[in-house]
Amino acid sequence: MSSAYGSIAAMKDPADFRQCAGYIRVSTEEQNLDLQISLVKAQAPKKIYSDKESGTNSARGAYTELCKEIERNLIKEVIVYRLDRLGRDPVELIRFFDILDKHDVNFISLTEPWLTDWNKGPMQFLTWWLQIGMARFELLLLKDRQKRGISAKIEKVKKGLDTWQGRGKDKKPRKA
């Protein structure tokens, strides 16, 4: 069959026009994205989505935009530095990978190449599942360290070995 534009059989599949996208994230404004940017950029994605928010928040601006672009079939591949850069909430990560699967989107973790074929077989799926569990485990360890650090600081203040009052970030604590 042909038309004014040539053979219909020769027309490209619209899926061929989907883009490769990168996603990078750090948890706070003070943290630096440079390492992730350079490694993801080296893969030549058409667009890089970036957030400076906690991975426990699934309503991050760029992450939400990336998910919408995937659902609109505009993305063919997602590249991340590490799986936990996508987020730390296992339920949200499962939802994200479900979207990838439904829209036939490839996934590449630059530091975890074993996750690339996450949906190709039972062992690959098990490895992916364990990696999601590790992201959650690391978050729990981080929260525990923060809690212990805060408790230790409070104890120092109670004992008069340190104070917070009137001291800026750059000033050293006073000794009693």
- Each residue's pLDDT tens digit, 122-150: 666 667 777 777 777 777 777 778 788 88
Identify the band that residue 4 occupies on the pLDDT scale cut at 50, 70 and 90. Answer: very low
pLDDT of the residue at 53: 93
Q: Measured between alpha carbons, how far is 176 from 173 in angstroms, rounded to an integer?
A: 10
In this predicted model, which residue has the larger pLDDT, 88 or 14? 88
Active-site annotation holder among 2, 3, 7, 27: 27
Name the pairing type of β-strands 47-52 and 19-26.
parallel
pLDDT of the residue at 115: 76
pLDDT of the residue at 114: 79
* Nearest by Cα to 69 from 24, 21, 14, 108: 21
pLDDT of the residue at 131: 74
What residue type is assigned to position 44 of the chain? A
Q: Measured between alpha carbons, how far is 146 from 28 in angstroms, rounded to an integer?
A: 15
Q: Is the pLDDT of residue 2 over 50?
A: no
Cross-strand bridge partners of residue 108: 79
* Nearest by Cα to 62 from 98, 102, 91, 22: 22
Residue ranges covered by each domain of the chain = 2-121
Q: What count of residues does the chain have? A: 176
The tokens of 109 are what?
A: 């973790």
List, in order, residues 6 or more apart from 79 with CB less than 8 Å away: 20, 21, 22, 23, 40, 43, 45, 108, 110
Q: Measured between alpha carbons, how far is 80 from 86 in angstroms, rounded to an integer?
A: 7
The tokens of 174 are what?
A: 């006073």
Q: For 31, phi and psi rounded to 5 degrees?
A: -80, 160
pLDDT of the residue at 23: 97
pLDDT of the residue at 44: 94
What CATH class has 2-121? alpha beta
- Each residue's pLDDT tens digit, 153-169: 787 777 777 655 555 55
- Each residue's pLDDT tens digit, 47-106: 999 999 988 888 999 999 999 999 999 999 999 999 889 988 888 888 998 999 899 999
27 is catalytic: yes
* CB-CB neighbours of 23 under 10 Å: 26
Q: Measured between alpha carbons, how far is 161 from 59 in angstroms, rounded to an integer?
A: 41
Q: Measured between alpha carbons, how far is 103 from 87 in angstroms, rounded to an integer?
A: 20
Q: Measured between alpha carbons, how far is 163 from 89 in angstroms, rounded to an integer?
A: 35
